[in-house]
Structure 1
Amino acid sequence: MERRTFLRGAVIGSSAAAFGGTLMHGAAYAAPAQNGPGPYGALGAADANGIRLPSGFTSRVIARSTQVVPGTSYTWHNAPDGGACFADGTGWIYVSNSEINPGGGAGAVKFNSSGTVTGAHRVLSGTRQNCAGGATPWNTWLSCEEVSLGYVYETDPWGVNAATRRDAMGRFKHEAAAADPGRQAVYLTEDEGDGCFYRFRPTTWGNLSAGTLQVLVAGSGTSGSFTWANVPDPDGSPTATRNQVSGAKRFNGGEGCHYAGDTVWFTTKGDNRVWQLNLTNSTYELAYDDHLVNPGPAPLTGVDNVTGSSSGDLFVAEDGGTMEICVITPDDIVAPFLRINGQSGSEITGPAFSPNGSRLYFSSQRGTSGSSSGGITYEVTGPFRT
């Protein structure tokens, strides 16, 4: 079976300009990723933060829920969830959602060029259960409400400009978003057991105030071709957006979403799958399915948030499972990259790389306490592949 090939590129700020993998042109569908040795080697013993990492990697705690972020006067939010990094001069900003209801919103931490925390601030308030989202090429953060008839809010990572609700992007149980500059579209997942996969095509690229919401239409299989159909009534009332178009493909609990190199990947937690849309030829397939791993057991369960590195590796966080972030390589190997010990009542959220790709940020949403007030946000530094 021929395998995927991945282009190489650089992640530039928050522009999602990483290049990822696409199916070989004209090739048969590739088999989903299989268990094997990871590119970073075995996990070592747990460090002082309870994190098991490969050799050469280290972790530190950046922030804890209900506590002031060290070096700032800002109190970190409860239940940290989806996140992204944005270039800020020679430093960067990590934005993180808060998955509580009511309250929600999002906060951010600023770093200088050496990785020292220089500030923290709020970027969104007064919303509901902000779960995941996505960065735009024009350096804004899309924060998504994971509630029935939820909205997408476009926010300023620097906290200077007021957040704006983007009604045209539809009202449904939003999860994640991923921008595609080439096709001038934003892809959206829906966290419902019979949810759909959407794209929003703004009337003017860079302005999300108006545009067309579309839903993916395909057969019932795990591979094949797809098309897009307009959603007649994006406000989802009285008929839910997922029930407005005949033939809309159903997905079992849409979660993370990542775009790179004419490909979009998204995860579904209800069946522990990673899906791959090959946008050049309008086909879809499975990049990972925990029931198709041979030899077992599957290393990746509780499939949730996803991001990518400039090497073409996908990093997939677990909601539960064994509290791991696993890597899926361009040659279709899946293996643990890190594991958090002693936090089985939590989930890993918000994985995102710094602009130069040397640091990975993520959170344990409920930490050691199992409560939304126990969230911990981490940074891992080391020799990531480029």
Structure 2
Amino acid sequence: MRYEDYQLMDFVNDQFFVTWVRNPDPESDAFWQAWLEKHPDKQELLEQARELLSFLTFKTQQPTSEEQRQVKLAIKRSIHAETRLLTKSSTDNKPPVDRKPIHYWRPYYKIVAFCTGILFWSAAFLLFKAGYTQKSYHTKYGETKTIDLPDGSTVILNANSTLHYSNDWQESRLREVWLNGEAFFQVRRKPHWKEARFIVHTNQLNIEVLGTTFNVNNRRGIVKVVLNSGKVKLRHIDNDKDSLVMEPKDLVEFTDNKKPFVKKVVEPEMYTSWRHHKLIFNETPLKEIAQLLEDNYGRPVIIQDKELADRRFTGAIPNENVELFLTVLGESLNVDIQSKDDTIQINTHSK
């Protein structure tokens, strides 16, 4: 899902956004300021998400045993003080004045205070665990990044993508990462680990591997998985029994939990060449290339007519420089490509 389609809780649950709010750096500041300039209508929504996260912010360092003891002691003192106050009020010789509500609640004060303490410490512990072990990476438009995972596996993150995972991996636990965008994975085998599986989570699929190389593209509500080597198993997130095992050179596309997997045999290098700073196309419609430009460079593309949008292109183009990419594409297809106000317009040459 693209950020412009996010609702309030999508921002609150997005690790890159959370990291920016709590621990901003020049890179994330530049990204979100540029994004807000393009989407000023989202300013209020972003501020609401920031306020909600500020409310939820907590101390990330685990409390010491002495700090825990002092808080528990304070809770106990509060309970005792409340009990003494209620006891004194009930034995006072003065006529009671409208004390029935207090009288009715008196037997439950200890229970309420005790439960409040338990809820406080439980929530603090869960928040601590969730925030303390989280590692997150994000790439800007036109950027790729190589990430070394705790188990020695490698991820190449494509442009405009986010990857996060828990950094306390152990031999007895699943190796899990969460991806929004596109990435190429080279997973190291761990045959001697008690739990050797590696799982990539997307918003619609779980991709389970042991040791392999593969590409995952999770954009626009569509998940595409291309397997270079090894084996992977795909599972619907809402139907664990519905699964599919992939073989090398398989491409599987998934759009909706109610629809079946779509599988075909492809040349994997066409879908993973981006990690070598080039893009390979084979009879690819111009409208699909336009979507790629929007996803990887954040540049909206306008194609003037349907016939032009369906025109197909075959070839390889370097993708490190978007202007060079557009020049090569325009000359190859004999079309006029103009950049104006961060928007790319593609037209047929005027006669």
Shared fold (TM-score, shorter chain, > 0.5): no
TM-score by length of 1: 0.25
The structure that has the greater radius of gyration is 2
Please state which structure has a larger fraction of its residues in strand.
1
- Higher relative contact order by CA 8 Å / sep ≥ 6: 1 or 2? 1
TM-score by length of 2: 0.27
Please state which structure has a larger fraction of its residues in helix.
2
